[in-house]
């Protein structure tokens, strides 16, 4: 691997390639041309070739891509061949939804702990993982090699808890709290702001209404 | 409003402007320069001016932006001054998390119904909204002016249910199922693919590991 800078736009598309290739594999497809992959994914064939060339390219002119090889290689680029220990902070509906999502485990994300401040949840388990109280968090994170934390707590607490996590060695935050976290540059933050997603939907619905009303 | 094409990149940033302006309002800030807004949001001031100029601009040279006015106007652009009737399909943890998220209501998204196939959930309510069975869906959508449906069901059922919704008048899908929906062009789809988000996080964690190991 070279130190070449891969644009976030490419990285944004890789998981989608991975998903499509996984579906092809499930359907027993062994080889696919960039044209066919392009039609399936509604991305241009040249876009696909360009994207994959960032990683050295995986196709052979005229032969198309070996689906299994490409799937495996993209998995490696995405780090899915390694395991990552993850904790979830906040055992509300969203935290429970994430905890119950078994597919994460298949991609190498191992749920090690769930934390909450609500004492009535103490000792309950989700998929055999016990819910612990926040006081235990610092020691737990240090002792269990926790790399990633999912934050599904209200925004008022999110900044403080994120700092606590980072101070204890967490290096990536999957942030569902509706606020930006101001963390050191070497900490990776992936935001999922659901209300912003809903606003984009709202914008597009209204824009559609507007143009249709005019016609 | 003109028919000028606004790029999706701008639309992607608007909800974030809206959130920051809302926080300024809560803190009693009446006026802000694009420079100060820029520092707060970590976007360049010229980016902010450019983005807002797409909608006619809202600032006055040397005076900065009137926070309340700008907040209100961006809200209008996003369609948040109107109400939208929404249903949630799938009353699992994720569906329940969305149903319980009261902030949506404040932005004009009115939860009218929750649907599931599990008969043991029938008649249960979430925030006074009853969970109904899927058989009732077509009539309910037609009779209650449902514009938006959130899909929090497994991918195996998502395509079929999305088509049913669209056939009955739904015009926008907030898709949490891990698949692409192939719907008519006039149907708006906003995807929230959580596992792809986690893969981007994984990519960045691994990339960071790689470069740090080299140093």
Whether residue B202 and residue A109 make contact (CB cut-off 8 A), yes or no, is yes
pLDDT tens digit sequence for A150-197: 999 999 999 999 999 999 999 999 999 989 898 998 999 999 999 899
Query: What pLDDT does B1 receive?
Result: 45
pLDDT tens digit sequence for B136-154: 999 999 999 999 999 999 9
pLDDT at A114 over 70: yes
**Beta partners for B133?**
B116
- Complete domains list, chain B, with CATH: 8-77 (1.10.10.10), 84-195 (3.40.50.720)
Helix (H) or strand (E) holding A155: helix A155-167
B148: buried, middle or exposed (CB in 10 Å: 19+, 13-18, 0-12)?
buried
What pLDDT band is residue A107 in, cutting at 50, 70 and 90? confident
pLDDT: which is higher, A135 or B53: A135
pLDDT at A131 over 50: yes
| ipTM of model | 0.86
Whether residue B97 and residue A94 make contact (CB cut-off 8 A), yes or no, is yes
CA distances from A124 to A86, A98, A215, B134, B215 (A): 18, 16, 57, 31, 43
CA angle A150, A151, A152 (to 5 degrees): 110
Query: What pLDDT does B208 receive?
Result: 64
A7 lies within 8 A of chain B by CB = no
Cβ atoms A1, B211 nearer than 8 A: no
B101 lies within 8 A of chain A by CB = yes
pLDDT tens digit sequence for A18-71: 999 999 999 999 999 888 888 888 889 888 888 888 877 676 666 788 899 999
pLDDT at B214 over 50: no
pLDDT: which is higher, B33 or A132: A132
Query: What pLDDT does B215 receive?
Result: 41
Top residue of A198, A200, A206, A208 to mutate, by most chain B CBs within 10 Å, is A198
Q: Residue B185: left (phi > 0), alpha (psi -120 to 50), or beta?
A: alpha
What pLDDT band is residue A215 in, cutting at 50, 70 and 90? very low
Angle between helices A8-26 and A45-53 (to 10 degrees): 110
pLDDT tens digit sequence for B120-138: 999 899 999 999 999 999 9
């Amino acid at each position: 691997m070279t130190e070449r800078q891969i644009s976030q736009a490419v990285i944004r598309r890789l998981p989608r390639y991975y998903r499509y290739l996984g579906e092809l594999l499930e359907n027993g497809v062994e080889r696919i041309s960039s044209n066919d992959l392009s039609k399936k994914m509604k991305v241009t064939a040249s876009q696909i070739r360009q994207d994959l060339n960032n990683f050295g390219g995986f196709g052979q002119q005229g032969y198309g891509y070996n689906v299994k090889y490409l799937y495996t290689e993209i998995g490696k680029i995405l780090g899915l061949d390694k395991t990552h220990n993850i904790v979830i902070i906040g055992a509300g509906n969203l935290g429970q939804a994430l905890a119950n999502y078994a597919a994460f485990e298949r991609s190498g994300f191992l749920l090690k702990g769930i934390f909450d401040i609500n004492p009535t949840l103490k000792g309950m388990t989700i998929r055999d993982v016990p819910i612990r109280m926040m006081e235990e968090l610092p020691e737990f994170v240090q002792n269990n090699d926790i790399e990633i934390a999912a934050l599904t707590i209200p925004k008022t607490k999110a900044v403080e808890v994120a700092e606590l996590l980072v101070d204890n060695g967490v290096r990536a935050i999957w942030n569902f709290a509706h606020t930006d976290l101001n963390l050191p540059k070497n900490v990776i933050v992936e935001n999922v702001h659901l209300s912003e997603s809903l606003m984009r939907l709202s914008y597009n619905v209204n824009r559609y209404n507007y143009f249709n009303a005019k016609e």
